[in-house]
Amino acid sequence: MKRVLPFLLPIAALCAPLQAAPNFLVITADDLNCDSVGVFGCALPDTTPHIDALAAEGIRYDQAHVASTACMPSRNAINTGRFPHRSGGEGFQHLRFPDVPTIPATLHDAGYFVAILGKVPHSTPYPNTPWDFAEEIGRNTEQFYSKSKGVIETAQAAGKPFYLIVNSHDPHRPYFNHKNAGKEPTSRKGKLPNSEPSRVFMPDEVLIPADFPDHPEIRKELADYFSSVRRCDDVVGRLIDLVDDLDIANETIVMFLSDHGMATPTSKSNAYQDSTRTPLIIRWPGKIPAGILYDQSYVSALDIFPTLLDAAQITNPGGMDGVSLLPTFEGAELPGRDTWNTAFYATIARNHFNMRTRHDGRFSYTFNPFYTGEPAYRSSALGGRVFQTMYEVGQTDPKWKARAEFIVTRTPEELYDLEKDPKCLNNLIDNPEHAGLIDEHRAAMQAWMRRTQDPIIQTYETYLEAFSAEAMQAVYPGNVEAAGLIGKAPKSFDITQSKFAAKK
């Protein structure tokens, strides 16, 4: 893990008591890669000026990760501060385990006005979650401002602090089409029209990452994706405007993050660095110095719940895997966070492709118990132009043929040097130079699975006994289903299936 010189808060700020009952504004992006944000290393200029400005006013976390990489499991992990298999939130369903403390219920009971705009079903942990206000919202930037203003003013009229989570649907597909730039937006079914991004990117502007072939269809996809990133950024800008317009900046903690990576073959619904790394930013004027980069320790979206409780001086009900981030505001390292584990469980189609990854600051190690040696992996992330184009290019280019086949087949274990290979293209699991490191990862993964009561621990230990995919598969599907996970065992499929065809 990289180190930075510790920074110091002014003595007066360190000694001052925490403000009672701060407001909380949590803003989430949907399917946004961390490296699509300017201050987190985006190579395409002018993508996220408002998010970058927010980071300049607070603290950004260089190694923040979400717990899982599908929408509802990731958001319910935020809601509970627990790994999904410890809350029963592994799939697209309400939490299977009863009485798990959640952000909205705990803050509601503590006197907060709790509200949500957008992604309501995917962000609601139980059917009886006590939202004081909940409403779906489209992709109209000004509506985010007006609806949020109404929520905050209602909370103020009630004399309550607020917890408001605002969930942008961008840059989730369908993307803004660059061909529609400058055209009058249209409304559907009485809804406000989607806003045009304040900056529309064109195919010849985008940069092609190392894990995609450079092809006109992929350039179109990325142009539309980044235009949608910019529309998400527009929403962030208007919400910050709202906080300033209402003159509540000093008593409002603003957080921004993405629920997981973009909908491309090895980001969303996977467990790679691009899958789980999230652009977490926190602003709290007077409590957090401006423009801080924190890279002392791994942090997690699981840390949001305990951080809110700590900031509001509300008793933590316990049972969480996350910890409060308040010490990081003063530059402190978090104990035990020099490594971190992330996971993937099941797709929205209820196919379980369990993956577990351990990050150690330079290397990532992944276990894939669904591996059978045949093409099996499928997810919505294969549904855009990228995967289909990769497959088509692979008909004449062995490099991309091998890459497409790997994506749908995988191997039982993967090891990547993230310093040299951040896009995870060169699997080092069979490299004898790393044998000792791999053994360390295996032992640590096994210990983490045991400690968190991961339902695939039997599968992993069976694999480690003989390093046999056949032995692993003999226990994996039954092991997962017996544990109560929602899902179906993956089956082999034809890589050329029409449902993965690109929409031209």
DSSP 58-80: SEEETTEE-S-SSHHHHHHHHHH
| pLDDT tens figures, 345-403 | 999 888 889 999 999 999 999 999 999 999 999 999 998 899 999 999 999 999 999 99
- In single-letter form, the type of residue at position 280 comes to L
Q: How confident is the model at residue 335 (pLDDT cuts 50, 70, 90)?
A: very high
What whole-number distance in Å separates Cα of residue 487 and Cα of residue 350? 4
Span 209-227, mean pLDDT? 98
| pLDDT tens figures, 103-123 | 999 999 999 999 999 999 999
> pLDDT at position 17, please?
43
Neighbours of 142 (CB within 10 A): 12
What whole-number distance in Å separates Cα of residue 149 and Cα of residue 472? 53
> pLDDT at position 184, please?
87
131 close to 115: Cβ distance less than 8 angstroms: yes
| pLDDT tens figures, 463-492 | 999 999 999 999 998 888 777 776 676 777
Per the prediction, the chain carries an average pLDDT of: 93
> pLDDT at position 478, please?
81
What whole-number distance in Å separates Cα of residue 79 and Cα of residue 301? 9
| pLDDT tens figures, 71-102 | 999 999 999 999 999 999 999 999 999 999 99
Neighbours of 265 (CB within 10 A): 24
Q: Which residue has the tokens 């309501």?
A: 120
| pLDDT tens figures, 28-49 | 999 999 999 999 999 999 999 9
Is residue 1 pLDDT above 60, yes or no? no
Span 172-179, mean pLDDT? 97
380 close to 386: Cβ distance less than 8 angstroms: no
Distances (CA, A) of 420 to 210, 362, 423, 426: 12, 9, 9, 9
What whole-number distance in Å separates Cα of residue 212 and Cα of residue 389? 9
Omega before 171 within 30 of 0, i.e. cis: yes
Q: Which residue has the tokens 């004081």?
A: 132
369 close to 354: Cβ distance less than 8 angstroms: yes
**Going edge to edge, which strands form the sheet with 162-167?**
133-135, 113-117, 162-167, 23-29, 252-258, 281-283, 59-61, 292-294
Sequence length of the chain is 504
Cα–Cα–Cα angle for 384, 399, 171, rounded to 5 degrees = 25
> pLDDT at position 7, please?
36
The DSSP output letter for 243 is: H
Q: Which domains does the chain have, with CATH numbers?
A: 21-336 (3.40.720.10), 341-500 (3.30.1120.10)
Q: Where are the beta strands (DSSP E) in 360-495?
A: 363-367, 413-417
Q: What percent of the chain has pLDDT over 70?
A: 93
Q: Residue 411: which of 367, 347, 462, 449 has the closest Cα? A: 367
- In single-letter form, the type of residue at position 73 comes to P
Is residue 333 pLDDT above 90, yes or no? yes
Beta bridge mates, 277: 65
